[in-house]
Amino acid sequence: MRIVEVVHHPVHGWNVHVHALLLLDEALGEAGLKELKDSLAGRFVRRISNRGGGADVNGQDLKPLKSGTEERLSAYCLKGAKAVWSENGSRSPMAILADLSTTGQDPALWEEFATTVTEKRRMQLSTSKRLDSICMA
């Protein structure tokens, strides 16, 4: 499952990033997790770079789900649907909309987001094919 999250920082601008949940057939040990992380992060960074963007392989993370953390994980993955204001000044789109509604702040910023994220692009469902070969390539 892949969740795309968008936040806006007043200095750095838009930050589009992905939270992905991988459902594997079996648990991986530490070495297997490192190999999978290195493979996925390397592919991700190369693809972003090839398209003119920037991403740091050290900014990628991969952790196994531990029993009892499911609620915290789901809240973290779905926080983009909520109004979130970060200490560093970043805001989720819903926080931008809330500020616009209450104070009239940043109408152009909301318009930029609303026109860029069309209905067609808001939710996409796709199935992975050959995930094993992609992950370990």
51 part of a folded domain: no
- Residue 47 placed within a domain: no
Question: What is the domain extent for residue 9?
Answer: 2-27+64-134
Q: Is residue 54 part of a domain?
A: no
Domains in the chain, number: 1
> Per-residue confidence of the chain (137 residues) as pLDDT tens digits?
778 888 999 999 998 888 888 888 888 999 999 999 999 899 989 998 999 988 888 888 888 888 888 888 888 777 767 898 999 999 999 999 999 999 999 999 999 999 888 765 555 555 666 655 655 55
In a domain, 35, yes or no: no
**For residue 18, what pLDDT is reported?**
81
Alpha helices (runs of H) in 1-137, residue ranges in sequence order = 30-50, 70-77, 93-103, 107-116, 119-122, 131-135
Question: Is 122 contained in some domain?
Answer: yes
Q: Is 39 inside any structural domain?
A: no
* Alpha carbon distances (Å) from 131 to 24, 92, 128: 10, 31, 6
